[in-house]
Amino acid sequence: MDWGMKNRLSRIIKPETGKTVMLAVDHGYFLGPTSGLEKPSKTVEPLLPYADSLMLTRGVLRTSVNANVNVPIVLRVSGGNSIVGEDLSNEAITVSIKDAIRLNAAAVAVSIYVGSKYEHQTLKNLADLIDQAEDYGIPVLAVTAVGKEMARDARYLSLACRIAAELGAHFVKTYYCEDFKAVVESCPVPVVIAGGKKVSEMDALKLADNAISEGAVGVDMGRNIFQSTNPVGMIKAVRAIVHDNVPAAKAYDIFKSSKNKK
């Protein structure tokens, strides 16, 4: 791995702990104005001091994030689908590598839909993006999107993560599942988890705690942070789990004791 690639990765996965808290706010690329993200700038600003990176689209980056912030950007570069469209898996690459560089992306992110109608197309998107990104030392995050019909179990997620790594992804984002350890152990690159749909704060913290205990290098969490009654409290609690090995129950105390500035 060349110096630039290593340096960009180390801006995201912090060398001090080997872990990362990524804040995902890219939902609008197929969901439109997602609850909690109606005004992205308002949502993101108070959370920035606690995020090791920000995952978002170029549209929201340009319009809603001040260019003087010092947070690494993980730029979503796949899309072209919508929640009301024909098939969510029908994605293309939507941002050129030149524009990703212009936007000073620390990494680029692309979804793959293993087992879906457009499986081949999305895997080709990943492989092509890696070829382009490698030229400039930019890491690629593969997101293992799960179609409605797909089981989120260790067998399926191991398959999807491993294929992403085999194609050359530098890190992988997937879902937590039963026997998650098996997913991590069969994936030769770092794995982060998505939070998924909003659940109770305690359940989301347990999810993060379990994932870290079973080998994830961090979270790339969205709705369970920005849809919380206290987003700042929630991201602080998640950070304590990820970077300080604080158990979920103690992290919940951090959430509760943090003043709500929503």
The catalytic site residues sit at 173
Distances (CA, A) of 211 to 1, 36, 44, 51, 208: 26, 25, 24, 18, 5
Give the shortest CB-194-to-ligand 5RP separation in angstroms.
4
Kindly tell me the number of DSSP H helices and DSSP E strands found in the chain.
12, 10
Q: Give the one residue of 162, 223, 236, 243 binding ligand 5RP; rule: CB under 6 A.
A: 223
**Residue 136 burial class via C-beta count within 10 angstroms: exposed 0-12, middle 13-18, buried 19 and up:** middle
Distances (CA, A) of 54 to 49, 106, 196, 212: 11, 10, 17, 20
| 36 contacts 235 by C-beta, under 8 angstroms | no
Select 77 or 257, whichever has its Cβ closest to ligand 5RP: 77
Sign of CA dihedral 186, 192, 196, 202: positive
Select 1 or 178, whichever has its Cβ closest to ligand 5RP: 178
Select 53 or 224, whichever has its Cβ closest to ligand 5RP: 224
Give the shortest CB-61-to-ligand 5RP separation in angstroms.
14
Coil, strand or helix at 183 = helix
Helix axis angle, 201-213 relative to 248-257, nearest 10°? 140
Q: Please report whether residue 147 would count as binding ligand 5RP according to CB under 6 A.
A: no
For tokens 């300080």, the residue is: 244
* String of contacts with ligand 5RP for each residue 9-28, x by CB under 6 A: ---------------x-xx-
Select 8 or 27, whichever has its Cβ closest to ligand 5RP: 27
**Which residues within the stretch 57-96 sit at the binding site for ligand 5RP (CB under 6 A)?**
none
Give the shortest CB-90-to-ligand 5RP separation in angstroms.
14
Q: Please report whether residue 194 would count as binding ligand 5RP according to CB under 6 A.
A: yes
Give the shortest CB-24-to-ligand 5RP separation in angstroms.
3
| 142 contacts 164 by C-beta, under 8 angstroms | yes
Q: Please report whether residue 145 would count as binding ligand 5RP according to CB under 6 A.
A: yes
Give the shortest CB-237-to-ligand 5RP separation in angstroms.
15
Residues that bind ligand 5RP (CB under 6 A): 24, 26-27, 55, 111, 143, 145, 194-196, 221-224
